[in-house]
Amino acid sequence: QRDLLLAPASAAQIAAAQASVAQAQASLDQLQRDPPAWQITQAEVQLAQAQISLQRAEQDLANATLVAPFAGVVTAVSVAEGEVASGILVELVDSASLEVVLDVDEIDLANITVGQPAVVTLESWPDTPIDSEVTAVAPQAAQSPGSALVTYDVSLSLAATDLPVRIGMTANASLVTDARTDVLLVPNSAITIDRTTGRAAVYVVQADGTVVETAVSIGLRDAQHTQIVSGLNAGDRVRLNYTPPAQEDGGFGPPGGGGGPFGG
C-alpha cells in the first residue's frame, strides 16, 4: 500500500529532485578541477542519490495518473485524496457495450442457450425494441434469501441503438425460443382453451354476421399472437375476447386461465 499521490505534488517533487541533481552535478564539476579524491567520491555518491530520487519522483508521477483500459463512464470512485490506495479505486462501465441481466426461473432455463436471440424494451421507451442476444447463463442460482423461487442470472448484450440508454434503467426482455415464417397468426385474445380437455378454439364471424365456434390446432405463441396450425384460413374473421351467450362453467375460457398456459 502507498499514499495516492496527486499530479501537482509529484510535479513539485520532480522539480526538487531535478534541482538536487543540478546542484550535485555542479559540486562534482567544481571538485573535478582540483579536488581531493575523497571529495570526488562523496560528490559522485551525492549525484547518484539525487538521480535515484529523481527517478522515484518520476515513477510516482506516472503512478498517480490512472489510465482507463477503454472509453466509458465512471460509475464509482472508492478513494479520496490523501487516503491509502488499496483494492478497487474506480469502477468504469463501457457504455458502448451495455448488457441486460435477467432473473430467469429455473423452470424456463432449459429453453435458454447462449447465442439465442432476444428483444429488449426499456421502461423509458417501451415502443422501441432493441435487438439483443444471450451472452451468458449463470452456472449457479442467484441468492434470494427468504424466497422459495430459484432463479438464474441470464445476461443479454444489446445491439447498437440511438436511444440515450443509461446504466441502471429497467428493461423487459422477450427471448425467442423458436421461430416460424409465413404462418397464420391470430391475437391471443381470440383463442379459448377448454379447461378440461385442453382443446383450443376460436369464434369465426360468418358472412351473415353469425359467430361459429371453430376448433383449431395451435403452435408457437408470444406475448401478442398465437400460431394457427390448422382450422383457419387466411382472411377468416375472428372475434376477440368473445364469450358465447350460454357458456357453462367448466367450458371454454381464455388461455392461461384455469387450464394453464398453452403453446407449441
**The CATH number of the domain covering residues in 99-175:** 2.40.30.170
**φ, ψ of residue 11 in degrees (nearest 5):** -60, -40
* Geometric angle at alpha carbon 257, from 197 and 217, rounded to 5°: 45
pLDDT of residue 6: 47
Scanning the structure block, which residue is given the C-alpha cell 386461465?
Answer: 257
pLDDT of residue 264: 36
pLDDT of residue 233: 92
pLDDT of residue 133: 93
pLDDT of residue 81: 76
Q: Which residues of the chain fall below pLDDT 50? A: 1-6, 250-253, 255-264
pLDDT of residue 147: 66
Helical ranges in 108-209 per DSSP H? none
Question: Do 20 and 14 form a contact (C-beta atoms < 8 A)?
Answer: no
* Model pTM score: 0.46
As to burial, measured by CB atoms within 10 angstroms (0-12 exposed, 13-18 middle, 19+ buried), residue 191 is: buried
pLDDT of residue 200: 92
Residue type, 56: R
Report domain extents, the chain.
Answer: 2-63, 67-95, 99-175, 184-253
Give 4's DSSP letter: -
* Domain 184-253 class, CATH top level: mainly beta
pLDDT of residue 8: 55
Integer CA distances (angstroms), 251 to 200, 243, 248, 256, in order: 11, 11, 5, 14
pLDDT of residue 236: 93
